Amino acid sequence: MDEVAVKRLHRIEVRDGNGDPDQAVLEIRYRKIRILRPIGMPKYYPALTLPVIHAEERETPNNRNKIDWKSIGS
């Protein structure tokens, strides 16, 4: 997903390691991918086209883990 351009920035509120409020700026990328059937599987199994969403925090915070979330849906 690194070669996909950032489509949107999204600001969210999160809690840091101490439970205090913090803000994170997420870079949102998305695209569709095509997954072919495995070799050796019957030909009636179709290829799948699925959306992929990647939300990654723009900067690494000091007091909590960096947000890096990926989802492949149907």
For 27-55, what is each residue's pLDDT tens digit?
Answer: 999 999 999 988 888 888 899 999 999 99
Quote the pTM value.
Answer: 0.80
| Residue pLDDT, tens place only, 13-30 | 999 889 999 999 999 999
Q: Identify whether 2 is part of a domain.
A: no
Domain residue limits at 42: 8-72
Report the pLDDT value the prediction gives residue 74, as an integer from 0 to 100: 66
Report the pLDDT value the prediction gives residue 8, as an integer from 0 to 100: 96
Q: Which amino acid is at 29?
A: R
Q: Identify whether 3 is part of a domain.
A: no
CA–CA gap between residue 17 and residue 15 (Å, rounded): 7
Report the pLDDT value the prediction gives residue 50, as an integer from 0 to 100: 95
Report the pLDDT value the prediction gives residue 67, as an integer from 0 to 100: 96
Q: Identify whether 31 is part of a domain.
A: yes
Token pair belonging to 15: 């809690």
Domain count for the chain, please give it: 1
